[in-house]
Amino acid sequence: MFVWPGRQGCRGSHRASRCSSRGGSEVKTSDRISSAFAAGREASQPLVVPFITAGYPTATSTVPIVTALAASGADMIEIGMPFSDPLADGPTIQHASEVALRNGMTVGKTLEAVREIRASGTDAALILMGYCNPVFAYGVDAFIKDATQVGVDGLIIADMPPDEAGEFLVSCRAVGLSLTFLVAPNAPDDRIRKVDGASTHFSYCVSVTGVTGARSAIESRTIEFLQRMRKLSTKPFVVGFGIKKPEHVMTLGPHADGVVVGSAIIDAIESVGGAGAVVVDAVNAVSTLVAPLCAAARQATMTAQRREA
């Protein structure tokens, strides 16, 4: 039985597994994440990591959007599990979560979408991002088991610091499910080392202090933070929380192993109708956005190589 140390007012239901393993992946979860970062290192190229909210803009849009992102060149994709109180997210992703919840999206349906994505042949690394309460409502043991069976590669639980991960981290590692922790720019050196050590394959750098959301420019202190991360980390790290333009990717790319694009993808879907968007239009919008970002990642590599020359 799983017990979450340090959490008050939450109880795991330990329900029986409810997702069929049919359509899940036979590849070890850690292999896709390791392979993605290894390929990036070999090419000296940062990964572009799109984020979408499951169930946004429609209940049936998750699978076609994720498969389109993978076809557009994304080797790693974050899928947000919608939650009614997403404290780490800005208004754009909060809105997407609200729409997804109205569409009836749940943790179980998110896992089913992952199963369908894998059944379609998509082999990109898939990371579920969410919050503690929905995982507890589902049942922690069942969630870890089902996530692994359907083909999830890793988890980011935004409101769970490594200090409180306890047996959750142990349970994830036991089944090869990667767990990633967040680190903020104001984190002291010992905190960065702790997050790096606790994260299974990579850590997630918050590029600005505060909630997520697209920014107009990258601040110099963000670069200084990433340089400090590089000095103190032993594992890869990605940076997110504000990236929306190719120039952002070119600025951050030389200093990180991956750049996460979230709010900009939601904005792109909003531009074609948001909750009322036709799925094919949403798919085209995100594909059109991601292509120049991937091109910018290649340019960021060239810039870094010239600097080293």
CA dist 307 and 309 (Å) reads: 6
Residue 300 one-letter amino acid: A
Cα–Cα distance list, 234 to 194, 201, 214, 253 (Å)? 11, 10, 28, 18
CA dist 281 and 269 (Å) reads: 8
26, 31, 75, 89: which is the annotated catalytic residue? 89
| 89 annotated active-site | yes
Q: Token pair for residue 208?
A: 């600005």
CA dist 97 and 91 (Å) reads: 10
| 281 annotated active-site | no
Strands of the chain, DSSP E: 47-53, 76-80, 125-130, 154-157, 178-180, 182-183, 203-206, 237-240, 258-261
Q: Token pair for residue 285?
A: 């919008």
78, 112, 153, 196: which is the annotated catalytic residue? 78
Instruction: Give me the active site residues, please.
Output: 78, 89
